[in-house]
Amino acid sequence: MRAYGKPTVVSGGVSELVLLWAGIPLVGGLLGGLLVAGAGWVAGLPWAPAQGLFRAVDGLPDRYALPGGVGVGILAGLVIAAIGTSERVIVMVSDAEALVRRGDSEQVVSRRDTRVAFQDGKDLVLLDADDAELVRQPHDLPAERLAEAFRQHGWPWAEADPHREAYRLWVPDLPGLPDGANALLRARREAREHDRQDEARELRAELARYGVVVRDDGKRQHVRLTRRAVLPD
């Protein structure tokens, strides 16, 4: 059924926020209390790490140690909740455009600039007329709800990546790529190996300017070319 006018929003909703800001701190407080309560037992295990710390905790008066452990656990849970909130993904789809928001950053893509949209593993992907990626956003949103939102507003939705067979496993100095692409892919591999995610995203964007699309499979990079790629003579 086609949805007209009102945009469709796909997000984790209120339940996700309740889990982040109530559930995780609650579990953190429980774990903190359990660690304090079992500190003496852990300190007696010859293979346990940080035995000195657990002995010190076990030596504290219960009236201080237990509330302190619970408090530290809750605080750790709140930190995790803040990080999770900053990473939340919200997708808003209308007949004219799609907004993809992750924390404080957002992308707005026009329907007329989009040739196809699809789910690739855990990523939402939108391609333009040259088969280049307009959006590749990892998310944990319900895949069926996301697909239905695009379909309802008349967007071209594919059940799988239409260019899946075009990807090749990248190895150093892979032939058939634009000049400079192999150097960027080497730099991106190193950034991913050292968990420099922001740098890896910047290098993906730079590769897109060369007409190279990157698809990650674990630590491996797979590549394909768009129609705008310029190959060496």
Side-chain-facing half-sphere of 232: CA atoms under 13 Å: 9
Which of 91, 233, 200 is closest to 149 using CA atoms?
Answer: 91
Measured in whole angstroms, the distance separating CA 200 from the mean position of its chain's CA atoms is 13
Query: Residue 217: its pLDDT value, please?
Result: 92
Query: Tens of pLDDT along the chain (233 residues)?
Result: 555 568 999 998 778 778 878 888 899 889 988 888 887 777 777 777 777 777 787 777 877 788 888 898 899 989 988 887 778 999 999 999 999 999 888 999 999 999 999 999 999 999 999 999 999 999 999 999 999 999 999 999 999 999 999 999 999 999 999 999 999 999 999 999 999 999 999 999 999 999 999 999 999 999 999 999 988 86
pLDDT at residue number 14 = 76
Query: What pLDDT does residue 42 have?
Result: 73
pLDDT of residue 69: 85
Do the strands 157-158 and 116-120 form a parallel or antiparallel pair, or are they unpaired? parallel
Closest to 91 (Cα-Cα) out of 104, 116, 108 = 108
Q: What share of the chain is helix, strand, coil (3-state, %, to 5)?
A: 45, 20, 35
Integer Cα distance of 28 and 77 in angstroms: 5
Which alpha helices (H) appear in the chain, and where do they start and end? 13-18, 24-37, 39-43, 51-58, 62-86, 143-152, 181-193, 197-209
Task: Report the half-sphere exposure of 64 (CA within 13 A, side-chain side).
Answer: 6
pLDDT at 3: 54
